Each structure stands twice: as structure tokens, then as C-alpha cells.
A and B are shown apart, each in its own frame.
Chain A
Amino acid sequence: MTATKKDPVLVVLQMSGAFDALNTIIPYSDPLYKDYRPHLKVEPEEVLAIDDKVGFHPAMAPIKDMYDEGKVAVIQGIGYPNPIRSHFRSMDIWHTAEPTKMATEGWLGRAIQDLDPNKENVLTAVNFGRGLPRALAAPGVSVASVGNLETYGVLTGIDGEDQRAEALDIFSRMYSPMVGNGPINDYLSQTGLDALKGADILRTAPEIYSSSIEYGGDMFSQWVKNVAQVHTAGFGTRVLYTGLNPGAFDTHANQPTSFAKLWGEVSRAVNDLYQDLKEHDANQEVVMVLFTEFGRRVQENGSGTDHGSGSVAFVLGDAVKGGLYGEYPSLEPDKLDEGDLKWNNDFRQTYATILDKWLDLDDKAILQGEFEQFDFIKK
């Protein structure tokens, strides 16, 4: 037992576009697999076998390495009731944890309310990407949303260091609650000053960061590097969120090339992040969750795959009890759901596990319901 236990941190990696679960964790010894995938199949000898049934796509070696160290929980057959094959709506469901009706609050937004009820830290949650995912939205929750950590801030378009410093000085004074009398003056003041303060603090992260890890040059890898920079800077950030650009994994055509390239980049970034955190002795307090909005059609379309339902997700980190969770959905034609893998565990079971066992929050209140938990978090 260490004297000071660090607060648990959650990193969320959103794989937009719906990656092909069947070619991610591959049921390589099932003869049906080859039948469904005459062009897209990965040969058994190339699969990075987990056991004699399933294994990782060969481009995922960096994640497989972590798996072999017992740090990766593979959640097979993950999904939600009444699958919808729309990217947007499906992502919305994952964000709001509400599959039956349109909701506006995010599951992490509510978690952030509980992590920082008195709004003491403007950086309790940080998003890297363009636009705030709904997962992080909740009333009264300020989340810093960073497109580019090097240039993040208010009034970034003002040229010249002196002019910008002057502008920010005026900004901080004119956003004082004492100035102005508009209908939501206090709220605007608070939000504006939080954003300014957040930007001020965040700006220091790249300056104090140094590492031997060289991340890939793609946007996602850069955002993952930003995650490391902000976490290791010690700002007290508890939720870090980033992901691929919308549609990245949407491989309707030409799947073999783009799919392998994307998983190559993503897997390397995930492993780089882990190694980077380790180098900074900042790995033990971090759990990552990597998800996509749905799986893809079991039967290939010749060069790619269309929208499906049942999928696979990953939870990674030192606190994770590695292994296979959920069941691999059957490939038998009569066991498919309209030609898709049938889900067998609700994504909110994974959320509940993370909220309760990792972040020590009230999963039932946040998810507005009780979901059976997994035991992929070490006690």
C-alpha cells in the first residue's frame, strides 16, 4: 500500500466510423469466417492468436503485446438493444447511455459532475478534437475542448505576442462578473474565465513535457500524445477524451488497406501512450477504454463491409484484469441478427464497471439503471 494513492483517471478513445469487429478480434478457426470473408479474411497464420479460437488482427501487435502482459480486457459481443445502423444515432447512444430515447446529457458529463461537484478544477475533463462529444456534456460542466494543444486558447487569431497578451488581459477584465448586465452575465463570466484559465494552464503542458516516446504523425496519435502531456503535467484531470475523425473506420470499400493502416496507427498510439505514462511513473492510475459505435455486416460486400451491430471494445491499463469478456457471437447464419453479429452484453455493463469499480462513482445514478458488472478491474 503506497502512502498516497493517485486519483483514478479515465482515458476514452473513440473509434468513429464503426470498426469491423470480425476482423479486429478474429474467430480464425471458425470455418464460417472464411466463407463470409472470401476477400477480406485474415489467414490463420497471420492472426495474433489469443487462444485456439480467436486472435487479434496482425496490425494490432502493439495492443497484443499489452494483452500478453495481462493489461487488456477484450469485451466481445458488446452492443445495445434494438441496434440502429446509423453512425450518428448509434454514437449518440454510446454518448448518452440511452438507447431508447434521444437524450442530451452525456454519461461522462454526469460522471464529471460527481468527480468535481464544486467545480474546483476547470480541467477535470479535457477533450482533444474538434467539437465537444456529447458524452462529456452535462449542465454546469465545463470541459476544455482542445483542437490543437500548442495553439489552444481564446482569441488565437490575434497576431503578435504583445497584442495577444494585451487582448487576453482585456478579456479577463471584461469577463469579470462586475462588468455588464446581460441576462446571463454571471454564467458568461464564469464560463469565459474558466475557459481562459483552462487555456492558460493547458498551455504549459507541452512546455514541461519531455519523453523518449515518439508518437506517430497522424492526428489521432498527436491527440493521444496530448493526453499524455496533460496527464503527466498533473493538472488533476480525471477524464481525457479523444478519438478518430468521424467516419475514419467506415470501411464500406477497400477495407484491407485502410483497416490495417488505421489499426496500425491506433494500436501504436495506445501502446505509445502506455509506455509514455510508464516512463513518467504515471501509468498505474490510468485506465483506457476504446470503443466504436457498432460492428459491421458479417458477410463482406467484396471489398468492404456495411453497417452491422454487435461489436467489440477494449479496456486497457495496469488496473485491468486482462482476458476475454462477454462471448464471441456465433457466426451460424440463424444466430445472426439480420446478418450481423448478435450482441450479448449491454455497453452500459462496461460503463457501470468503469464508473463503479474504477472511478468509484454511483454507476446506477449516472446510468439511470442497474447493469450487471464485469470484473475486469483489479480490486
Chain B
Amino acid sequence: MADQNHDIALMAHLMRRAGFGAQYAELEERAAKGYDATVEELLNPEVNPHGMDLDVAERCFIEWSHQTRGVPEYFAFRMINSRCQLEEKMVLFWHGILCTADSKTQSYPTSYDEIEMFRELGMGSFRDLLVGISRDPAMIFFLDNCLSHKGAINENYGRELLELFSMGVGMDGEFNYTEDDVKECARAFTGWTIANNVPGQPYGRYHAQFVYNPEDHDEGTKTFLGETGNFNGEDVIDIIAKQPATARFISRHLYSYFISDEAQVPSWMETPPKDPETIKMLEDEYFRSGYNIKAMLRVLFHSDAFKNARFQRVKSPVETVMGTLRLVGDWTEPKPGFEFIFDEMKHMGQELFNPPSVEGWHTGQEWIDGGTLVHRINFTADFVGDVNQPGVREIIDRLADAGPVISPEQMVDTTCLLMGHYELADETRQMMAASLEKGGTIHTDTEEFGTRVSELLQMIVATKEYIYA
């Protein structure tokens, strides 16, 4: 029993991190198959193409290609329902690093293409992904590469490619590249532009396309990170991909997203990694595997650092909202009214397709302020407090299986297990039990029992402990 509980606790942890959480039945099912098998399934999304039947979703989100709401809605629907949880989690990961914002691009069709590109390349070679993002029309417009010309470069993309997408400003107190490298990088990407305007105003919203214009490409010799040649964009990416700084940068991002909140990116040059050993392991795998993200993830999920990192990260708003919907079993089918869900994530501080800057969202403690905390708690409490939600019903029924009467302590403990093996501080646990005690003997076979469970669920999601994943 102890072992089985341990397996399920670990599976709950894996599914919270490698996905958006799971109901208890799914945790049992996956735990029975085993941890390694589940990791492999998550790492190989092609086993379940698209992770779901797309037919219904696409018919219902017919407007996803041209309306403002459809694309985030469709993305969220896949986060909630895809069997390939890690695939979607990685899309969200890259969406927060290789950032474009609809506030500038104003073309959801083009943003959608970017998301599909992350699905396709997000767990493959990082080198290929860098080529993908450099050819991504939303990015080319967002960082003005379409305004960068032979003889008149715009450095915006060249700079962010180095600073925020691959190497970072510096490592171990040293700069990773010079201002000249930025310029040479930008020169190499001249001629990488787009057809079809990106912003919706004034022509309407169309899919923009990548175009390589050789006429506008600077064919001159460039010196980039110490190498000299007539480099084009892909040559520059080849050089970037083999830098130790790139291995470090991606490893820290993976660590922060999957294991434990790191310092914010701008401080990485001066602030060493929290866990240098694990970072080293990931860096080694980056080179060993030929820059393969999937291989790095495999090492990560099998590391002790990962397995021991339960509740060491602050859930992002998207994780909070998607996790809540998966827990209660809502939005398993398309239905109207998604705007509210989208707005709630925004009010909690994470508006999909609109990261606050090209640096992406700041994470960890910075997710929380007075306003976002209240939104987070109230949103989650409203959903788990609804006894008509199938996932809530399931928790009530499973608690009732314990017998006609349940003790307050047992009710608190079992409810925490059923929510995904949450662990409350002793004091918190006792406060909840004492509160239940005041309400008198707990009979599980009454109508009132459901209400008492839903009140307890609301209290649990309001705890500090529940803020973490």
C-alpha cells in the first residue's frame, strides 16, 4: 500500500509537471503501467496522433483561423484534452521563450502556425527549432526581421536570438557574445522575410508566409563568435547550437519549467544555477544527443532532482486553470463561454499569445500579487466547489467508498490524495479537520456530504500548499 501510494504520488507529480495534472483514475491507470512506460509515452506523442480526436474540436472552433478568440481557445482545449500532455506542455514552454505577442502581430492565423511549428519541432533538435523560429512569420514580423535589409540591418531579431532564444547575455559572470556578434548575426539573417502582411489591420487576417529573398541577403563575409565565412542564417544557427552557453541556457530553462523555479532570466549571467549537477547532466545530454530536446527531457524525468522536487514550483496561471479544468472534468467537449476562462488566466497574470515582453513571462514568485492571488483562489474554488462537475462527483463517490462514516482526519487526507497527493502542513491539516469536526459526525451517505466535500475542496485550493506544483 505504501509503495502503491508512493507510485501514485510520483505519477501525480509527473503529470503536473509533464502535463496539466490528471484525475485520480488516470493516475492509478498510469501508475499501474509504470513510471518509465509513462515517461516514454509522454516523450513519444506520435503514439497518439494529436493526442485526441481533432475532428470535433476543429469543427467547433471553425473560426480559429481568423477570429481573435479561436486560437487561444483551441490551444487551451488541446492542453485540457490531449492524451499527449507533454507535447502541449512543451508548446507552452516554447511559447514562453521564443516569444511573439499578438498585441503586435495581430494575426491569430500566423500565431497558430507558430504553435503548430512548436508541436512539430518542440521535442526534436534544438538546432532545427531555431531554424523554425527564424523562419516563423510571426517572429519575423514581431522582431522586425522583415525590416532588416542588406546594407541597412535591423538588429532586433539578431539580438534576441542570442540574448533570449539561445545563449543568454552571459554565463558564469562572462559575456557570451559581443555587440559585433549581434550585428553579424543580423547580417546573416537579411533576406529572411515574409509574404502577406502580418497585422490584421487594415487588410484582414491571413496566414503570413516565410520568404527568402536572395536579392536582399548580405552575401559579404561575416565573423560570428570567432568563426569567419559567408554565413547565412542557418550557418549562424549551427554555430549557436554548438556553444556551451546554449546548452546551459536551454538546460536552465528546462530545469526552471520542470523541476524548480530558477532566478529570472536577466540575472542568469551573474546568478549561478540552483543545482549545478543536474544542469551539468542536462548540458552533457544536449551535446551527447546532438541537441535533442527529447533526450534531455528523458534524462530530466529520470533524475532524482526531478523526482524529489514535488511542490517546489509555483504553478503558472495556465497550469492553474488547465489543471483545475482537468481535475473537475470540465471542457472535455467544446462549448461556448471560453472567453471567461481566457480572461481568468489573463487576470491571474498570463494572457496566452500576449506575453508581457519578448522576454516571456516572469515566473515563480512573480506570478503572485494581491490581485492575481485572489483571482487564482476564487477561480479554482468556484470550480472545485461545484458538486455537479464530474471530477468533483468522482472525489465525493470515492470518499463515500470508505464507509457510511468518515473521520475528519481521514476525510482531509483522502481528499488531498484524490486531488493529486497534495501535502498540507500539519497545522493546516488540523485546522481543516477541526473545522469538519465542528460540523458533527460525517455521514457519507447523505446529500449534505457532497456539500461538505466541496467546502473542503475549496479550502484546500485556497491553501498556500496548493499554489505549488
Contact = CB atoms under 8 A, between A and B. Distances in A.
Interface of A: 84-89, 92, 101-104, 122, 127, 130-132, 134, 137, 139, 141-145, 153-158, 163, 166-167, 170-171, 173-176, 178-185, 187-189, 191-192, 194-195, 198-199, 306-307
Contact of A163 (B358, B371, B455, B468): B455
Q: Chain B interface: which size bin? A: 35 or more
Given A122-B370, A180-B463, A191-B369, 7 more contacts: A86-B103, A101-B357, A131-B371, A155-B378, A156-B378, A183-B313, A184-B364
A157 B425 contact: no
A353 B429 CA distance: 53
A166 B468 contact: no
Nearest to A132: B371
A22 to B, nearest CB: 19
A173 B431 contact: yes
A171 B463 CA distance: 7
Interface string B357-396: 1110010111011111111011001100100000000000
Interface of A, helix, strand, loop or mixed by DSSP: loop
A187 B260 CA distance: 17
Contacts of A132: 347, 369, 371-372
A142 B370 contact: yes
B364 A174 contact: no
B431 A170 contact: yes
A144 B371 contact: yes
Contacts of B103: 86-89, 92
B378 A180 contact: no
Contacts of A127: 371
Interface of B: 101-104, 106, 199, 201-202, 260-261, 311-314, 343, 346-347, 354, 356-359, 362, 364-366, 368-375, 377-378, 381-382, 385, 425, 427-428, 431-432, 435, 438, 455, 458-459, 462-465, 467-468
A189 B365 CA distance: 12
A156 to B, nearest CB: 6
B262 to A, nearest CB: 11
A174 B463 contact: yes
Candidate in A87, A122, A139, A192 with the most chain B CB atoms within 10 angstroms: A192
17 contacts: A88-B103, A89-B101, A104-B356, A130-B343, A145-B374, A154-B462, A155-B458, A155-B459, A174-B427, A179-B427, A179-B428, A180-B425, A180-B465, A183-B364, A184-B364, A192-B464, A198-B370
A179 B102 CA distance: 41
B370 A143 contact: yes
Contacts of A102: 356-359
Contacts of A178: 427
B420 to A, nearest CB: 16
B458 A181 contact: no
Contact of A131 (B199, B343, B435): B343
Contacts of B354: 88
